[in-house]
Amino acid sequence: MTVNDSLDPTLPPLDVRKSSPAIALPESPDALERALSHTYVADSRTALAAWLALKLSRPLLLEGPAGVGKTDLARALAETLGRPLVRLQCYEGLDEAKALYEWDYAKQMLYTQLLRDSVSKETAGAESIVDAVERLSGAESAFFGKRFMIRRPLLQVIESSEPVVLLVDEVDRADPEFEAFLLEILAENQVTIPELGTLKAVHLPLVLLTTNATRDMTDALRRRCLHAFLDYPPPSRELTILELRIPGIARSLGEALVRFVSNVRALDLRKAPSIAETIDWARALILLGASGLDKELVAQTLGVLIKYDEDRRTIEGSLPKLLTDTPAQR
């Protein structure tokens, strides 16, 4: 696969990543959970949902707050399975031309100019425009073949010569009409292009769709998918994630950090800190030589963890309590 449109700022980000050679599918959900554990800490329910999606060749809809690891799960599955990851980032106004294919009109025009002499010979002696058009009947199909197509992520997945992991990221940001467009791919692993007919996937992809629940998904889309809800991890699992991503982090610092973050998430905030922000904060604290948390250090570094000023003020007003409370297990 090649990234042929990533330089066009009007297009959705296209992420095609190669991984190691494909491996056999894990024989059980536990085996998949163990395989993922090298790069991703999944709970048993999430591992089971991903394993069933693989075994049943069904799309998996991952739902939950922003920053809980939905997108990262797709990355980890691609690495674990040795498959390329193809990512389609959704946004309002996304349509078929940006997600599936469009015709390369500049290339079509170039070929038209190059073939002017051939067209002139074919139409030489034509007595009218109608006659000329009749002589060229059928030739137009040559300009609507695969050589003139710009392949977008979904068509790349359908035509891929190897199994891939397709991530349709933040599908709730796209319009409901785009969900309807996805149904054929989700249900039949195929797409229909008027000029070419129906194209079936060479290999069945593992499809993951993520949603932050900014709007409800349609029942039609939900029916075609398995479902998994990902929430913020309990402190014990978040500590495991920290130790995986930051080898050598002091246990005492990690425990204090995840305890504080769990307490912060229980507040009424505009945006709760994500797992990625927890990791960034831990790295910042390590760079500062911190071995634990205190009120002054937390206040000075909150900008790494919190991204809205009103949230910062809320947290600063509760710092003594946040630093001493033991979080409730989720």
**Mean per-residue pLDDT over the chain, rounded:** 85
C-alpha 2/C-alpha 17 separation (Å) is 10
Question: Each residue of 57-113: pLDDT tens digit?
Answer: 999 999 999 999 999 999 999 999 999 999 999 999 998 888 988 876 677 677 677
* Domain 14-100+152-229 of CATH type 3.40.50.300: yes
List of E strands, the chain: 14-17, 60-63, 85-89, 101-103, 149-151, 165-169, 190-193, 197-200, 206-211, 226-229
Nearest to 275 by CA among 83, 73, 116: 73
Whats the size of the chain, residue-wise? 330
Give me 154's structure tokens: 């979904």
Query: What is the structure's pLDDT at 310?
Result: 95
The answer to whether residue 133 scores a pLDDT higher than 60 is no
Q: Whole-prediction pTM value?
A: 0.80
The domain limits of the chain are 14-100+152-229, 103-148, 235-322
pLDDT tens profile 303-324: 999 999 999 999 999 998 898 8
Question: What are the pLDDT digits (tens) for 232-290?
Answer: 999 999 999 999 999 999 999 999 999 999 999 999 999 999 999 999 999 999 999 99
